Structure 1
Amino acid sequence: MSEDPMIEEFFSEVNDKYYPQVMEGLELLESANLSEGIDILARPLHTIKGVTGFMAGFEEASHFTHKIEDFLKKVQSGDVESSSSNITLLSRGVNMIFQVLEQLRDNSLDEEEEAEVLGLISTASQNDAPKTEISGIGVEVTTRNEVTVIHVKAPRVHQETQFKPIISAILAVEPGDSILLDLSKVLTVGSSAWGTIASMGTTFKIAACTLSPDAKTTLYAWGFDQTIAVYPDEDTYFTTQ
């Protein structure tokens, strides 16, 4: 599927145009500039929904984007409360659009994760969103000098089952507090995982340390270092604070 010139042209547009727009919108959204953030997000999401609806093999991306777009509109109209948990869920859904696109291109759609996100959105739309519980699988959380340190134990962080424990641990921290991700045991981090974490970087003060060359390359290639500070190791982080 990825060898089709039209598909490659679309993904070039996604990477060069739509994704930067989305990151700008999410940053505004999570800095409490709700109206402007939603306005910026609406344009690329509407385009992605429309284009993928006519791309053979990418219809599911159009369907998923449509659901996220509907949730965006409900938050905008006030039908869904613009609480911190709902804004975080919206950010996750928006970032997951790009994950779904990549998975469809690789013929590896994670239908379970997609269903989970849509289920959470459906529940939130009914004003009965469940609280996120911290999963101890894949992470170990400690505190040092009033900073929450999340030690990631999974060697590869790509799929939802691998980065969900990180997100759960982040959501357990008070907004505005400092968080340090210890990635000393991680070999690779996928762009979708980085994107989900980075989307929370305006709500929480997130830094990462001890990145592998692959994890660091992906972080910088996608521009996620704009909301995630990088340090060579944990001690360096604390000596510079």
Structure 2
Amino acid sequence: MSDDPMVEEFFSEVNDKYYPQVMEGLEMLEGDAVGEGIEILARPLHTIKGVTGFMAGFEPASHFTHKIEDFLKKVQADEVESTTDNLTLLSRGINMIFQVLEQLRDGDVDEEEQEEVLALITEASSSGQGEVEVAGAGVEVEIRDSVTVIHVKDPRVHLEPQFKPILSAILSVEPGDAILLDLAEVLTFGSTAWGAVASMGTTFKIAACSLTPEAKQTIYAWGFDSTITVYPDVETYFTAQ
């Protein structure tokens, strides 16, 4: 595989760009800046997952990175508690992504170690579920100038009960019609929730406004602004129409 120009170009990007970014993020995980560290880690992992998915022979790396990325999102959304053990496990999984890449290039893959890490991640993820029931505060919907404005009432939108009402409100709109998410009452909006909303952005014309710095950082870090247009506030949105 090492003779493939695409592979060599990818590994050059990994060594020069993605690995340094990941090391910076991991250093923050080991300190007190867990949230900031996760935000830094999000983009290179997402890119590695996507690129390796299209590289012949490197699909296992994409699959493994996808599992680690999911665990990262759960820690970010507080679905998995950010204990020392869980952060150590996350760091181990992230470091192993680069080991898997090298092993695939060399043709010597250690699947046993991968399975061990993924089993530990599954255990850590399941142990944090079902202990707390989260009830979503829901949404309020109004029609203004032919735009469906969805006012989100939850201060924190991370888990399914919190973002499901948003999806339901979107699905009640005709495909192609304009939708504005008003997040004035929202403090944090997790990557899982953004991903669920962004996945509908190809069918519906979705915009969001009044984002806190934390919510804005998440949507840009994960690239969800590609299907969700961001505005400072409601009035700015309607002025721009």
Q: Could you state the TM-score of these two structures normalised by the residue count of structure 2? A: 0.53
Report if aligned partners of 2:152, 2:181 keep a CA contact under 8 Å in 1: yes
Distance 1:45 1:210, change over 3 A: farther
RMSD: 4.2
Match of 1:58 among 88, 104, 118: 118
Q: Within the alignment, does 1:108 sit opposite 2:128 as a pair?
A: yes
Give the secondary structure class of the aligned counterpart of 1:184: coil
CA deviations 1:45-92 (Å, max 9, x no partner) are 99416985843353498xxxxxxxxxxxxxxxxxxxxxxxxxxxxxxx
Report if aligned partners of 2:136, 2:163 keep a CA contact under 8 Å in 1: no
Distance 1:60 1:231, change over 3 A: same
- Between structure 1 and structure 2, the one with the greater Rg is 2
Residues in 1 aligned to 2:60 and 2:197: alpha-carbon distance in whole angstroms: 20
The runs of 5 or more residues in structure 2 that have no matched partner are 1-25, 30-37, 68-110
* Matching residue of 2:166: 166
Residues in 2 aligned to 1:231 and 1:55: alpha-carbon distance in whole angstroms: 43
Identity %: 52
* Structure-to-structure mapping, 1:6-45, within 5 angstroms: 14-18=45-49
Distance 1:239 1:159, change over 3 A: same
What is the count of residue pairs matched by the alignment? 157
Give the secondary structure class of the aligned counterpart of 1:229: strand
Residues in 1 aligned to 2:61 and 2:42: alpha-carbon distance in whole angstroms: 16
Give the secondary structure class of the aligned counterpart of 2:206: strand
* Structure-to-structure mapping, 1:171-182, within 5 angstroms: 171-182=171-182
* Structure-to-structure mapping, 1:1-241, within 5 angstroms: 14-18=45-49, 47-48=62-63, 54-56=114-116, 58-59=118-119, 104=125, 108-109=128-129, 137-241=137-241
The runs of 5 or more residues in structure 1 that have no matched partner are 23-38, 62-99, 114-134
CA drift of 1:150 comes to 0.4
CA drift of 1:111 comes to 10
Residues in 1 aligned to 2:62 and 2:170: alpha-carbon distance in whole angstroms: 31
Residues in 1 aligned to 2:197 and 2:227: alpha-carbon distance in whole angstroms: 9
* Matching residue of 1:27: none
Distance 1:11 1:146, change over 3 A: closer
* Matching residue of 2:101: none
Q: Which one-letter code corresponds to 2:193 in the other structure?
A: A
